[in-house]
Structure 1
Amino acid sequence: MPRSKHFPVVIEQDKDGVYIVSCPLFQGCHSYGYTVEEAMENIREAIQACMDEMPDISEASTKFIGLRDLELSL
């Protein structure tokens, strides 16, 4: 039976409507897509490439804690 692991993914949208995705567990693990579905498929491939470079994910240098929204007065 294949093992599975969940990875946190941050999704943002730029001014042109492109979805920018990243996985904070890996430094430099980013991708994009013109739909959320495309972006998610692309980040899946990027995460796999990062895992190929770091086969033992337990050695990741950071641990994802969560996201918070911070409001600043401008």
Structure 2
Amino acid sequence: MIALAIKNETWFVSYKTRAGTHHGRMTRTFQSEDDAKQFAMRMLLEDKYPIAGTLNPYLPKQVVASSGVATWAAASPK
């Protein structure tokens, strides 16, 4: 029997994949908010318009628009 590790991924970052369009997007998931913040900042610096947030059923639900990524990423962990 093979034991499978269950990841508790609670954050996502969605980002633009093609130049000139917001329609081609990819999403990565993360176990910690800090990891999501670091990745979102990299995508922001690459002009990939990241959007971040929590995955269901994680509460409280949070969504960070691309325009708020820099502020969110600079904030200290709760």
Q: TM-score, normalised by structure 1?
A: 0.36
Whose relative contact order is higher, 1 or 2, with alpha carbons under 8 Å and at least 6 apart?
2
> Which structure has more strand as a fraction of its residues?
2
